[in-house]
């Protein structure tokens, strides 16, 4: 059953018992992994990013092979890794194996957009559980991929491997715009919907954007993906760090007062 064609199987669907089992397993794995690695130095975090990227690429190649064998080369949507959640594959290479600006692009995406994408998928696994059973390779691969996205992003922030600044939106947006441009060209040629920027996705929140934006749908989708996830994480990150700074300032003030009294 692990590698059967979707036509031979009954999907478990979202918010089913199987969905919540996979969700619980993924959340527990993330929590345990963070518990044992959140104190790591930068060099160890980099090794985790590298190893995770290699493992995810191996799983992705297996997925691509499976989809081509079962659905053929014409099913572009199923095997070309050009979706928002696929960006961890490229960002992981940038962050773990590159230097300078390219590394920064990878760092910023992994610690912002990767977290949001992973969380959204775990709650709404539209691209796997609506087509496959929970314990199918595609479903398991999807939860591993998105769970890893969340884990790596939070790890990078908690260990201060990456410190997010408002100006980093430039690096974040760059990878989204470049990948979306490539995806859009492929979509025009093959009538596909990579990055979900060319066609409607009925039954999802994308349909609302599609109906409201009309002919501007591709542009609106790119702009939303190139801004919203970053600012959500940046806002939360900035707020948490702001509180930490205030606590430290108050603590230092109290210490000074005690010294003065003595």
| 244 part of a folded domain | no
> Which residue reads 């692990």 in tokens?
2
What pLDDT, on a 0 to 100 scale, did the predictor assign at position 20?
Answer: 96
3-state secondary structure at position 32: helix
| 251 part of a folded domain | no
C-alpha span between 179 and 11 (Å, rounded): 30
3-state secondary structure at position 126: coil
What pLDDT, on a 0 to 100 scale, did the predictor assign at position 1?
Answer: 66
What pLDDT, on a 0 to 100 scale, did the predictor assign at position 255?
Answer: 44
| 262 part of a folded domain | no
Q: Between the CA of residue 111 and those of 81, 189, 217, what are the distances in Å? A: 20, 33, 27
> Which residue reads 């957009």 in tokens?
113
Residue (of 129, 120, 160) closest to 241 by Cα position: 160
What pLDDT, on a 0 to 100 scale, did the predictor assign at position 7?
Answer: 79
**Count of structural domains within the chain:** 1
Residues 20-53: b if buried by 16+ CB within 10 A, e if exposed: eebbeebeeebeebbeeeeebeeeebbebbeebb
What pLDDT, on a 0 to 100 scale, did the predictor assign at position 259?
Answer: 34
| 246 part of a folded domain | no
What pLDDT, on a 0 to 100 scale, did the predictor assign at position 3?
Answer: 82
| 209 part of a folded domain | yes
| 259 part of a folded domain | no
Mean pLDDT for each consecutive 10-residue tract of the chain (262 residues)? 80 93 97 96 97 98 96 93 96 97 98 96 92 94 97 96 95 97 97 96 91 96 97 93 54 42 36
> Which residue reads 């542009």 in tokens?
219
3-state secondary structure at position 128: coil
Query: ∠ at Cα 96 (94, 100), nearest 5°?
Result: 55
| 89 part of a folded domain | yes
The domain of 223 spans 6-237
What pLDDT, on a 0 to 100 scale, did the predictor assign at position 38?
Answer: 94
| 260 part of a folded domain | no
What pLDDT, on a 0 to 100 scale, did the predictor assign at position 261?
Answer: 36
């Amino acid at each position: 059953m692990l590698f059967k064609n979707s036509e031979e199987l009954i999907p478990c669907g979202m918010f089913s018992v199987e969905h919540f089992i996979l969700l619980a397993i993924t959340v527990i794995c993330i929590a345990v992994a963070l518990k044992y690695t959140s104190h790591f130095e930068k060099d160890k975090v980099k090794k985790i990013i590298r190893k995770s990227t290699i493992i995810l690429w191996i799983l992705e190649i297996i997925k691509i092979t499976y989809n081509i064998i079962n659905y053929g080369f014409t099913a572009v949507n199923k095997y070309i890794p050009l979706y928002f959640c696929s960006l961890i594959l490229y960002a992981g290479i940038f962050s773990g194996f590159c230097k300078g600006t390219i590394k920064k692009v990878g760092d910023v995406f992994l610690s912002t957009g990767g977290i949001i994408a992973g969380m959204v998928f775990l709650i709404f696994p539209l691209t796997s559980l609506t087509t496959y059973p929970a314990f199918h390779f595609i479903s398991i691969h999807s939860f591993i991929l998105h769970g890893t996205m969340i884990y790596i992003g939070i790890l990078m922030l908690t260990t201060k491997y990456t410190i997010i600044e408002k100006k980093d939106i430039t690096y974040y947006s760059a990878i989204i715009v470049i990948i979306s441009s490539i995806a859009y060209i492929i979509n025009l040629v093959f009538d596909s919907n990579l990055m979900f920027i060319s066609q409607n996705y009925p039954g999802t929140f994308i349909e609302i954007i599609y109906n409201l934006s009309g002919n501007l749908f591709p542009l609106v989708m790119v702009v939303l993906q190139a801004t919203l996830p970053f600012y959500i994480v940046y806002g939360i990150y900035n707020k948490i760090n702001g509180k930490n700074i205030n606590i430290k300032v108050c603590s230092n003030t109290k210490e000074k007062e005690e010294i003065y009294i003595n």
